[in-house]
Chain A
Amino acid sequence: MRATTIALGPPPPAATPQFNGGASRGASREIDHDRASRDLNGGVGRQQTVYRAGDGPPLVWLHSLYGPEADAPLIDALAEHYSVYAPLAPGFADLDDLNELRDIHDLALHYDDILDALSLSGVAVAGHSFGAMLAAELAAHVPSRVARLVLLSPLGLWNDAYPVADLFAIPAAEAPQLLYADPSRAPSSGGSKPDVEQVIALTRGMTTVARFLWPIPDRGLARRLRRVRAPTLVVHGELDRFVPVQYADDFVALLPHATRQIIPGVGHMLLVEAFDQVMDAILTDLASFKWGVAAASPSRIV
């Protein structure tokens, strides 16, 4: 997959969003971190990095807790079937991106701006964890933007009977025990101490996530989910110790058109623990999606 930077107004972007690279089938894992093109708009207005891979009908992927690189296997697999657009969450590359995105409403509208700049409307949106929460917020804030929604172990709701665990109150080394049903499935750090830039990159991401989840991951989504028009699939790991599986039922109850699929034996990081089952769930769900006229043809914007 390739990264590209688009400009969000004002001033209005060029008629065609500026892409550095085009879609390529069998997308490469190479990720372009060059954000020099941030200045492409004369330094005015917001800039947004979007990772791009594959051909086919458009699918927007909103990444999980650890950025799009961690989701690369899934993005690559989806790119076999779809034109995948994966925006990098603001803050992950530069915390100053959040200066004017102060709350969840600013952030949801920012994602609407991104899809607007990409000419994606009535599009399928999928996301995992933090990304699933953002996908649900986008669909609730701007229902017409999202025609199909896939939420993988979504955050965003709170129930006193089965509280979301506090990811931010455990030592980093113990995170796998919370996030994986089988902690040995967590990617190994290789045993070496990460260098300072790795620590900083991880800190930027978690700072961003924490900003929208602290201290309780409830920004009022429960009051807004009724607005979502998109048929929605909720996929949840049966043994999720971070966001307990009961939340899948809560999402289904609050969403107008939702079904759920529980994957047995796996935890929160179901992209790692049950990759094939997740892919199968997404592909099966989207196969029933009528890619309507509202969906932009990717050829228009690449």
Chain B
Amino acid sequence: MKFHFFHLMPYPDLPDDFRQRYHGVWVDLPAAELFDPVVGHHAYNDYLDELEFADQSGFDGICVNEHHQNAYGLMPSPNLMIAALARRTSRAKLVVMGDSVALYNPPTRVAEETAMLDVLSGGRLVAGFPVGTPMDTTYCYGETPATLRDKYREGVELILRAWQSTEPFAFNGRYTQLRYVNIWPRPIQKPHPPVWIPGSGSVETWDWCADHSFLYAYLSYFGYLRGQKVMQGFWEAVARRGLEPNPYRAGFLQFVAVADSDAEAERLYAKHALYFYNRCLHLYPGFASPPGYTSLATIRQGIEGQIKLAADRNKELEDLTWAQILDRGYVVAGSPDTVVQRLTEMEQTLRVGHLMVLLQFGDMPKDTVLYNTTRFAQEVMPRLRPMWNEWADKWWPRDTLPTLAEPAPLPTPIPA
């Protein structure tokens, strides 16, 4: 199986009484009041260091994602972060998880930027295309909920054609009309970089991923116990089509914290997990369910998106405790043995070949992140790696250049 180091890039300095003072972490949280650009400067640079360290530590992929007007995700543009990482990493694949296609006008912007990143990185790009959360898409970017998914799918279709077409073409879509599509550059990977779809439980997305052989990833903050129903729905969609249940079709996101012992894990990581769950996931319920965002079929299926799950907690005055976070499986924490055992159980339940791990959470400082990353890479990854070896991963970059250009040492300045 493969392992990916995922970063959300949270703002690390939300006040202790955040939940009491603000109705949510997203959309209308006053930036001028809470965001200190100097704190942001150090956070961004620490976070890029951590991603680069993961590249050196042997992770298969390093992942970033897109959020808007959100204090736990400081990446309105994941592509900018991948651009920075492309020059300072060489081993890991670069997983954009990803670009919210409907928010780019025209969507060929995504085809262009991902082609740039693929070329710059020597064919290391994985292109993720999420619909995007309700907050990002409908409230922050003003997309009409009823047409968002249709616009998104049309955009993905346009990007796939733009990457592959052998000649300029006209695109007369419902949401985008372009007389000349002819992107420069074109990606290294042929026919195109792997497409991964981060989902949150919409029934249509399972079918769509299965039909198009896109990887389906469930990016859950609520652990594998909550994720079972969603992944089961995906595997049923795969089975209905008679496709092979290759675990590499699927990805899953999990918070992990590794230490000498379970008690040591609590001492090192609990406060940062609590920062994430009690402040970063403090979501205003009014922004959770714009009418038309969730399809009627998904409502009938009784699947509640994780945004809604988080928002439903908004009114609970009690903060989550570390014990609750562990019991519910939100965070897998403890000694390497504990973590290996829990992740093995998770793998067998969910059947995912691509495990994305969040090893930095909330306001966790860099030294703790590097410690957690090292222990995971050295003591957990090797023991889990053989799993799913009998399957071929067809959802992974195959055309990465054998020799990459590297940033050259700068020449000595010429004296004036």
Contact = CB atoms under 8 A, between A and B. Distances in A.
A207 B146 contact: yes
Given A169-B139, A196-B300, A200-B299, A209 B291 contact: yes
Contact of A199 (B287, B292, B299): B299
A171 interface: yes
B142 interface: yes
A104 to B, nearest CB: 12
Interface stretch (A28-36, A210-218, A230-238): A210-218
Nearest to B290: A168
B302 interface: yes
Interface in A214-266: 214-216
B142 A211 contact: no
Contacts of A206: 291-292
Nearest to A200: B296
Contacts of A200: 296, 299-300
B174 A211 contact: no
A214 B138 contact: yes
A174 B289 CA distance: 14
B147 interface: yes
Contact of B290 (A95, A204, A208, A210): A210
A98 B138 contact: no
Contacts of B287: 169
Interface in A160-218: 168-171, 174, 196, 199-200, 203-204, 206-211, 214-216
Contacts of B138: 214-215
Contacts of B302: 196
A105 interface: no
B144 interface: yes
Contacts of A196: 299-300, 302
B282 to A, nearest CB: 15
- At the interface, is chain A mostly helix, strand, loop or mixed? helix
Interface string B302-320: 1000000000000000000
A277 B412 CA distance: 86
Q: How large is the interface on A (under 10, 10 to 19, 20 to 34, 35 or more residues)?
A: 20 to 34
A98 B146 contact: yes
B296 to A, nearest CB: 5
Interface string A95-121: 100100010000000000000000000
B339 to A, nearest CB: 38
Chain B contact-residue range equals: 20 to 34
Contact of B144 (A170, A174, A199, A210): A210
Given A196-B302, A207-B292, A171 B146 contact: no
A214 B145 contact: yes
Interface in B259-303: 285-287, 290-292, 294, 296, 299-300, 302
Q: Which of B146, B147, B174, B290 has the most CB of A within 10 A?
A: B146
A214 B142 contact: yes
Nearest to B27: A169
B299 A210 contact: no
B190 to A, nearest CB: 36
Q: Which of B142, B174, B291, B302 counts the most A-chain CB atoms under 10 A from its CB?
A: B291
A215 B286 contact: no
A196 B298 CA distance: 11
Contacts of A174: 286
Nearest to A91: B146
Given A98-B146, A102-B174, A169-B139, A210 B300 contact: no
Nearest to A201: B296
Given A196-B302, A214-B144, A168 B291 contact: yes
A98 B147 CA distance: 10
Contacts of B296: 95, 200, 203-204
Nearest to A208: B146
Contacts of A207: 145-146, 291-292
A211 B285 contact: no
Given A200-B296, A206-B291, A207-B292, A171 B285 contact: yes
A59 to B, nearest CB: 29
A174 B23 CA distance: 14
A170 B287 CA distance: 7
Contacts of B299: 196, 199-200, 203
Contacts of B174: 102
Interface string A144-167: 000000000000000000000000
B286 A171 contact: yes
A168 B294 CA distance: 14
Nearest to A209: B291
B286 A169 contact: yes
Interface centre among A169, A174, A199, A209 (most CB of B within 10 A): A169
Interface in B12-31: none
B315 to A, nearest CB: 9
Interface of B: 138-139, 142-147, 174, 285-287, 290-292, 294, 296, 299-300, 302
5 contacts: A95-B146, A196-B299, A206-B291, A211-B146, A214-B143
Instruction: Give the 9 A-B CB pairs with smallest separation, nearest first.
Output: A206-B291, A207-B292, A215-B142, A211-B146, A207-B291, A214-B144, A171-B285, A169-B286, A170-B286
Given A203-B294, A210-B290, A214-B144, 7 more contacts: A171-B285, A171-B286, A204-B296, A206-B292, A208-B146, A210-B146, A216-B142
